[in-house]
Amino acid sequence: MSVATKARKLGLKQRYALMTRGLGWETTYQPMDTVFPYDTYEGIKIHDWDAWEDPFRLTMDAYWKYQSEKERKLYAVIDSFAQNNGHLGITDARYVNAIKLFLTGVSPLEYQAHRGFAHAGRHFRGVGPRIACQMQSIDELRHAQTQVHAMSHYNKYFDGFHDKTHMHDRVWYLSVPKSFFDDAMTAGPFEFLTAISFSFEYVLTNLLFVPFMSGAAYNGDMATVTFGFSAQSDEARHMTLGLEVIKFMLEQDEGNTPIVQRWMDKWFWRGYRLLALVAMMMDYMLPKRIMSWQEAWEMYFEEAGGALFEDLSRYGIRPPKYHEVAAKEKDRISHEAWGIFYNYTHAAAFHTWLPNEDEMAWLSAKYPKTFDKIYRPRYEQWAKMKAEGKRFYNNTLPQLCTTCQIPMGFTEPDDPTTICFRSSEYRGERYHFCSDGCKDIFDYEPEKYIQSWLPVHQIYQGNCGGAELGQVLDWYHINQGADNLDYDGSPDQQLWDKWMSDRKKAAS
Amino acid sequence: MPVTAIGKYEFEPLDKRENFHGNIITYWNWEKHLMFCSPVALPFPPDMRFGDVVEKVFPDVYGAHPDFEKVDWSKVKWTLNQEPFTPDFDRSLEENGFDHKCVVRFWTPGLDGYKGSAN
C-alpha cells in the first residue's frame, strides 16, 4: 500500500495559529463564565481575548526542543563543576552564604511560581495568555529543579543547605519571600500576573537576577552562573509576558487603568521590600562585589524603570506610589537589613560577619552620606564587643511588619536614625507596619493581612516547637552550632581555611 | 474595604489577644540605639508591674549596650502608642494603659548611642 498524499508542510504563521488559538474552543455543555469563573471577578474587562499578542510566537513542540538543548548544556557544566571540585575555586567561603539565602529564599519561589502560573493559565479563557502561562509554569519548575541541582554540590561540604523547603515554610526570615508569593497566589489571575510577571519579572527582576548571577560569576561559582545563562532566555520571555499582560489590560478597557495602577503600586512596594535581602547580599555577602545596591537601584529601577513608566504614561499610568521613598532609602536598606541578620544570625541558617577594613572602605566610598556617620560606628562597636568575647546577638525577638513580615528595622524616609512606625486599627485590633507602603497595602485589603502568619507571634503563641530558642531552631531544622552563628569560628570557615592552608602547603 | 474575592471573605485575626495564653504582646524601642536593629516584641501578663519590665527584663534585652548602665530612668521620655506618657513604675501594665500590641518608645536624654551615632 502506498501513501497517496504527502502531508502538506504548514507555514510558520499557520502552524502558530493551529498550535495556539486552534487549541481553544467555545464551551457548549457549560457556559464560558462557569468554566472560567476567575477571570472576571477582579473587575478587569476584556472585550477581545484574541487581541493578545505573543511576540515570541513560541509553540509547545518548539519549546520542548529548545529547553532540552539548554538542559543538556547545563547539566554538562554542573557535572564538570562537581568533578573538578568547583567549590575550591570560589573567592571565599563567605560567598556560599549568599547561595544559602538563594536556595532557601528564592528557589522555593520558583516552585510556587510554577504552581501560580499553572493556576493562572487554567483560569484565563483566552488561549494566548493560557499558552504563555503554561510555558512559564514549566519554565519555573525547571528553574526550581536546576537551581537545586546546581547548588546541591555545595551541600556536600557546607552547612545550611539540607532542608530548604521545610525551612521556607517555617523559618522567620523566609516568611518574607513566602508571604510575598502567598499574597500573589491568593489573588485573582490578573493580579497574579501583574504581581509576578510585571512588577517582579519585568520591573524588578534585574535587581534579583543580575546581582546573584553576576555575583556568582565574580566569585567563581560557575555552577550558578551557568544556571543563570540557562534561565536567561526564559526570563526574557517572562518579561515580555509581563509587559504584554499590562498593555493587554490597559488597551482592552479604560476602566482597567485604576485597577492596574493599584496593583502596580502594591506589587512594586512588596517586591521592593523583598529585595532588601538582595541589597544586603550585594553590599555585604559577596567577597568580590559587583556594584552597590544604590548603583543597581539607580541603573535598573530609576533609569530603566523611569523609561518604562514614561512609556506607560500614554495609558494614564504613573510611576508606582512611594518610588520616591525607595529612592530616599537607597543608601541605607542594605545596611539596615544586614544589621537585622547580624542581630539574629543565631536563629538563621546562614552566617553573618563584620565587614573587614577593605570592605568598610568600599562601603564608605559607595555610601558617602550614610556609612561613616551611622554604620561604621555600629560595626566598630560590634567589633569591640566581639574582641571582648561578647559577640552581639539580640536575644529578644523583633517586632515584625504585618505586611512584609520583615523586622521593623527600616527608618523614617527623612531620618535614617529613627525607626519608622506606622499602624492601623481594624475591627478593634491594632496592626503595625514598617512603612506607608506596607500600611497602604493592609488598609486596602485588611482581611487578607489579619491572617499574616507572623513568625514572632507564632513562637509566642506556642506553635513553633517550644518556648526556648533551641526548641524553635530544632523545629526549623537548623543544625545549631553549624548552620547558625557568626562566620568566624563556624565549621564552614574551619573547613575552608584548612583547604586553603593545605593548598599553600602543597604549592610550597 | 473588602478583599476582592470570589466569595465571602471573612477571617479571624491570627494574633488576637486570647491566642497568647493570658499575655499581651508589647513592643519596645530604645530610640537612637540602632545597634538593636528593630523594636522588640515581648509577651507579658497585663498585671505585671511596669517597674519589673525595666528592672528585671530590660537588663537581658538591652544590657549588652554600654549606655544601658548609664540610663537615669527618672529622666527617660516615653511614648505609648505614639502619645507622650509618664509610666507609674509601681502600677501594672494594664493600669498604665497598656493594651494588646501596644508600642512603647523611649528616649534616654544625653545617651544617643555609640559616639552619638544612634547606635
All structural domains of chain A: 21-27+30-53+60-507 (1.10.620.20)
Percent of chain A clearing pLDDT 90 (strictly above): 86
The number of angstroms, rounded, from the C-alpha of A485 to the middle of its chain's C-alpha atoms is 24
Work out the pLDDT band at A5, boundaries 50, 70, 90.
low
Query: What is the Cα–Cα distance from A133 to A91, expressed in whole angstroms?
Result: 39
What's residue A163's pLDDT? 97
Look over chain A and give the mean of its residue pLDDT values, rounded to a whole number: 95
Work out the pLDDT band at A4, boundaries 50, 70, 90.
low
Contact yes or no for A269/A410 (Cβ under 8 A)? no
Query: What is the Cα–Cα distance from B46 to B44, expressed in whole angstroms?
Result: 6
Interchain contact B83–A (C-beta under 8 A): no
What's residue A391's pLDDT? 98
Residue of B nearest to A448 (CA): B3
* DSSP string of B49-86, one letter each residue: BHHHIIIIIHHHHHTTSTTGGG--GGG-EEEETTEEE-
Give the H/E segment covering residue B106: strand B102-107
- Stretches in chain B below the pLDDT threshold 70: 1-2
Q: How many CA atoms lie within 13 A of A269 on its CB side?
A: 23
Contacts for A68-77 with beta carbons within 8 Å, 24 or more apart? A70/A230, A70/A233, A71/A142, A71/A146, A71/A230, A73/A226, A73/A230, A74/A146, A74/A150, A74/A226, A74/A227, A74/A230, A75/A149, A77/A222, A77/A223, A77/A226
Residue of A nearest to B82 (CA): A421
Q: How many helices (H) and strands (E) does chain B have?
A: 2, 5
Write the pLDDT tens digit of every residue in A15-66: 888 888 888 999 999 999 999 999 999 999 999 999 998 877 888 888 999 9
What's residue A486's pLDDT? 98
What's residue A64's pLDDT? 92
Work out the pLDDT band at A12, boundaries 50, 70, 90.
confident
Q: Beta partners for A419?
A: A411
What's residue B81's pLDDT? 98
Tell me how crowded residue A314 is: count the other CB atoms within 10 A of its CB. Answer: 8
Instruction: Find the CB nearest A447 among B9, B27, B64.
Output: B9
What's residue A215's pLDDT? 92
Contact yes or no for B37/A409 (Cβ under 8 A)? yes
The residue ranking higher by pLDDT, A348 or A228, is: A348
What's residue A232's pLDDT? 85
Q: A421: which chain B residues are within 8 Å (Cβ-Cβ)?
A: 29, 39, 82, 103, 105
Contact yes or no for B91/B54 (Cβ under 8 A)? no
Q: What dihedral angle (degrees, nearest 10) is formed by the CA atoms of A17, A23, A25, A31?
A: -130
What's residue A59's pLDDT? 87
All structural domains of chain B: 23-116 (3.10.20.560)
What's residue A13's pLDDT? 83
Give the H/E segment covering residue A271: helix A256-274
What's residue A2's pLDDT? 54
Tell me how crowded residue B45 is: count the other CB atoms within 10 A of its CB. Answer: 13
- Residues with Cβ within 8 Å of A185's Cβ and at least 6 positions away in sequence, in order, are A112, A115, A116, A119, A192
- Subunit contact A460:B5, Cβ cutoff 8 A: no
Q: B27: which chain A residues are within 8 Å (Cβ-Cβ)?
A: 399, 432
- Looking at the predicted structure, is the pLDDT value of residue A452 above 70? yes
